[in-house]
């Protein structure tokens, strides 16, 4: 059996594509078209993870805007009755998901990397602003505050019962 190195001597490596091969023999992972980048400590991993989460949030927003816009245009061209509410709901939900990812990235970065009172205060402010934005989006999508969901559901149910009792021709606009 070969000799094992102590854990402190192990370096973790990630690869990124580049047009040229590495010329350094110290890379643990290397292929001709993928030079390796050393990630030598946990702090760098956390920074990369936080940046990756932020990138994912931006990706979700961009894909949702493209997908939603194409779907809206197709529905509009097919003369679907009022496609805007579905478009607004899709964009709102993607924004809510992205805000959650951005908050998570900020928490990871602040708590694990920069543990000063100032950075925690800034994090608190960011979380408050993003929480308010999330609530505003929920109000825009659903028409009520998040804590009023049970009351709004009861109102919808009552409205459904009243609507069900109307004659069919009355709801179609004929009297």
| Average pLDDT for the chain | 76
pLDDT 10s digits, 80-92: 888 999 999 999 9
pLDDT 10s digits, 126-153: 889 988 988 888 888 888 887 887 777 7
Q: What is the spatial distance between Cα 105 and Cα 46, in angstroms, rounded to a whole number?
A: 10
What ranges do the domains of the chain cover? 10-40, 43-143
Residue 1 is given by DSSP the state: -
pLDDT 10s digits, 36-64: 556 568 888 888 999 999 999 999 999 99
Sort 56 into a burial class: Cβ within 10 Å, 0-12 / 13-18 / 19+: middle
Q: What is the spatial distance between Cα 160 and Cα 171, in angstroms, rounded to a whole number?
A: 12
Q: pTM here?
A: 0.60
Q: What is the spatial distance between Cα 72 and Cα 85, in angstroms, rounded to a whole number?
A: 10
**CB 76 within 8 Å of CB 17:** no
| Residue percentage of the chain with pLDDT more than 90 | 31
Residue 3: the pLDDT is 58
Q: What is the spatial distance between Cα 37 and Cα 16, in angstroms, rounded to a whole number?
A: 7
């Amino acid at each position: 059996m070969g000799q094992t190195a102590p854990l402190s001597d192990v370096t973790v490596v990630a690869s990124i594509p580049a047009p040229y091969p590495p010329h350094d023999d110290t890379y643990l992972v290397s292929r001709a078209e993928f030079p390796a980048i050393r990630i030598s400590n946990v702090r760098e991993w956390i920074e990369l993870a936080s940046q990756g989460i932020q990138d994912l949030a931006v990706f979700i927003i961009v894909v949702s805007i493209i997908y939603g816009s194409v779907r809206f245009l197709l529905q509009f061209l097919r003369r679907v009755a009022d496609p805007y509410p579905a478009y607004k709901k899709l964009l709102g939900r993607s924004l809510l998901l992205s805000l959650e990812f951005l908050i998570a990235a900020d928490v990871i970065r602040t708590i694990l990397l920069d543990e000063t009172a100032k950075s925690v205060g800034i994090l608190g402010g960011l979380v408050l602003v993003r929480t308010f934005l999330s609530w505003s989006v929920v109000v825009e999508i659903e028409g009520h505050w998040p804590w009023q969901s049970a009351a709004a559901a009861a109102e919808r149910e009552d409205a459904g019962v009243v609507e069900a009792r109307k004659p069919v021709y009355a709801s179609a606009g004929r009297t």
